[in-house]
Amino acid sequence: MLAAYAVHVEHSRGRRIPEPQHPYRNDFQRDRDRVIHARAFRRLEAKTQVFTRRYSDHFRNRLTHTLEVSQISRTIAGALGLNVDLVEALALVHDIGHPPFGHAGEKSLDAAMREHGLAFDHNLHALRIVEDFEQRYAAFRGLNLTFEVREGIIKHSRDYDAKEHPALAEYLLDQRPPLEAQLIDLTDEIAYNTADLDDGYEAHLLSLEEIREGVPVFDRYYREAEQIYPGAITKLKFNEALKRVINRLVDDLISNTQARLQQARIQTLDDVRHHPERLAAFSPAVEAERKQSKDFLYENLYFSPALADEKDDAERVIGALFAFWMESPEALPHNYQEKAKEKDESLPRVICDYIAGMTDNFIFEQYEKHCAGA
């Protein structure tokens, strides 16, 4: 049973190009399946989350992170009476626009674009992917996703100003996104804040002592695990503590969002859309814990000297390839050369699209081919 404030698939605003109803899958289920079968989704397997395979092939990549976000999102959506099919589709598509090299790659690509008066935004790039780049169907370009999934791609993690982004006007930029979309940015945080502690510890870049000192909520649960499992090896006690941190974040997000819905007297989806702020949120106490954990990761992991090589790779490889194709657009694949000739496209944007779609391995191959001997 869906809550009255959930998105009901029978009330969807539909697709750009109308299609007959499927006999046993609703429209959001079909969107989920289209995302999973997209080439851009498959490429997430070979895109860095935080750690490259230089450390190990056991760590998260963009694809495994996406699956973890999907699992957490489905659980929370079900507890809140939201549309689980829509939430799953949004979770699976939320990182599809990320370039190689993780966040370092995104910053480097944005820096290259800004030299030409443009910018790179992975949400906007994801929309370009599902609207145009994916070509699987004879009847239309892109994936022809429902309005609600396309809106969620744009609005799940930030608000866009209609004056600055007139091309996005159709996505109700003056309104809040549905709760199904609001959840995704928060479940993304739950997934990577905890997973990066795990991977950082496994990579021996974060010690148990550093984590316990820098993340008090983890320390509290680690002490609890020591009491319950005194004979367990350290890693298993670590896992028990981290599991409890995830549960705390999930439980709080569910209960606090329910309380906020009640306090705001939310009854319908329109109430959600016209509320002055987003309703899905952690409680102040847990939000402070989440921020403390994130700050710890930024200070001790993401900008650690051990990961400096990855950032250097992103800046060097992306910068060099971008400059090369600006100087030699004839070296681009034929379809990208043709794209650059279209009136609504520019050469920097087309080069950005090409680079953003690459896996870590492929971009290194292109660098070796075109730039290594320069």
**Given this model, what pLDDT does residue 54 score?**
59
- Between helix 27-36 and helix 84-93 the angle, nearest 10°, is 20
Three-class secondary structure of residue 231 per DSSP? coil
Amino acid at 18: P
User: DSSP string covering 256-275, please?
Assistant: HHHHHHHHTT--SHHHHHHS
**Given this model, what pLDDT does residue 89 score?**
98
**Given this model, what pLDDT does residue 36 score?**
98
Name residues whose C-beta falls within 8 Å of residue 247's C-beta, 6 or more positions apart in sequence.
Answer: none
d(CA 91, CA 106): 19
| pLDDT tens readout for residues 304-328 | 887 887 788 889 999 999 999 999 9
b/e code 7-35 from CB counts within 10 Å (16+ = b): bebeebeebeeeeeeeeeebbbbbbbebb
Give 142's strand partners.
Answer: 135
b/e code 144-158 from CB counts within 10 Å (16+ = b): bbbbbbbbbbbbbbe
Mean predicted lDDT score pLDDT of the chain: 94
Count CA within 13 A, CB hemisphere, residue 88. Answer: 16
d(CA 191, CA 206): 18
Count of Cβ atoms closer than 10 Å to residue 268 Cβ: 12
Give me the domains of the chain, ranges plus CATH numbers. Answer: 9-18+25-308 (1.10.3210.10), 309-370 (no CATH)
The low-confidence residues of the chain, meaning pLDDT below 70, are 51-58, 374
Helix/strand/coil (H/E/C) assignment for every residue in 318-369: HHHHHHHHHHCHHHCCHHHHHHHCCCCCCHHHHHHHHHHCCCHHHHHHHHHH
**Given this model, what pLDDT does residue 234 score?**
97
**Given this model, what pLDDT does residue 374 score?**
62
Give 146's strand partners.
Answer: 15
First to last CA, the chain: 62
